[in-house]
Amino acid sequence: MNPALQGYLAAVSETLADAGALADAAAELRAVESLVEGSNELSLALNDAALSVAARRSVLDDLLSGKVRPEVRSLVSRAVTVVPASEVVLSFHWLASELGSLAERSADEPLISESEAVLGRMASRNRVTGYAAGVFETLPTEQIEEVEDQLFRFTRTVESDRALRHALGDRDLPVSLRQGIIADLIGGKTLPATQRLASYVIRGGRARDFVGTLDAVVVEAARARGWRVARVSSAEDVDDAQRRGLGDALAQLTGSPVELQVTIDPALLGGVVVQVGDLLVDGSARHRLDQLKEHLLVSEAGFRIPEGSASQKEGKRADG
């Protein structure tokens, strides 16, 4: 099943388990599946890839309003959003089956397994950001902003500490041990959601992509607030006026408010490197020097006299 939906279900199932509502939610999802399969018109609408996601999502949202619990409506809406149109009804069946299986677990059996099935790097990131989306939906905007800031600072700490980065990225260490390291580092010092998200990165992400996956969660937090994240690497400190100017310029470029996350990297020598999603702007002195070096090498190659050329033979005769 779609990795983003897997992660989202993991987050929502935790909320349902806390409320003792796993079995009821599973039954409601089965009812939704039956409703869709029993209506040819509704099935055609949901399976019609020509219809926008928003339109298909609106059809079900209006239909289910007040008839199922909010978590079930959220799961249905997320499925329509992330799953291909042809697989939407199948995803309802999968969601109901998964929740039903969780509800049947004994009281002393943990809801959450130690680790998820291993996926590729991007699929694992999608699973984790799906989980993050489910968590952020339960938080007020100001808490999401605080979680985003805490995760960003924790990510930079891990990134700059080789021993810590190795420990948290060691797939041979048990998941519970790596989650324990996170608990020791940030437990009680951050919001519960921050530790919850960092722990799921260990469980649902790829070990060697720990830092990259944490960064993806930070971006998801900004998206949940309607912002975009710009990662800025600078050779020296960026003052408030420079931040405002760069932020305004990027907001005009992207069409969304942009939050700058600045790290200092003296190796750049000067200037900045800015990344917003797939957009990368390298205005560093190091990049300009590398470009100049490449240009000089190309120019030198163009002026080099080929072996055995007439000019080279003339030069040899002259030397003789």
Tens digit of each residue's pLDDT (9 = 90 or more) over 187-225: 889 999 999 999 999 989 888 899 999 999 998 898 888
Mean pLDDT of 166-181: 91
Which 3 state secondary structure label does DSSP give 234? strand
State the DSSP code for 319.
Answer: H
Query: CA–CA separation, 200 vs 95, rounded Å?
Result: 20
What residues does 280 pair with on adjacent strands? 275
Structure confidence at residue 40 as a pLDDT band (50, 70, 90)? confident
Reported as a single tens digit per residue, the pLDDT across 219-260 is 889 888 877 667 777 777 777 777 777 777 777 776 667 767
Average pLDDT estimate for 275-301: 60
DSSP three-state, residue 88: helix
Burial class (CB in 10 A: 0-12, 13-18, 19+), 313: exposed
pLDDT digits (tens, 9 = 90+) for 115-143: 677 888 899 999 999 999 999 998 998 89
Residue 300 in tokens: 């030198």
Whether residue 77 is predicted with pLDDT greater than 70 in this model: the reply is: yes
- Determine the 3-state secondary structure of 238 from DSSP: coil
Report pLDDT for 211: 92
**What share of the chain has pLDDT > 90, as a percent?**
27
pTM of the model: 0.72
What's the confidence (pLDDT) of residue 225? Answer: 83
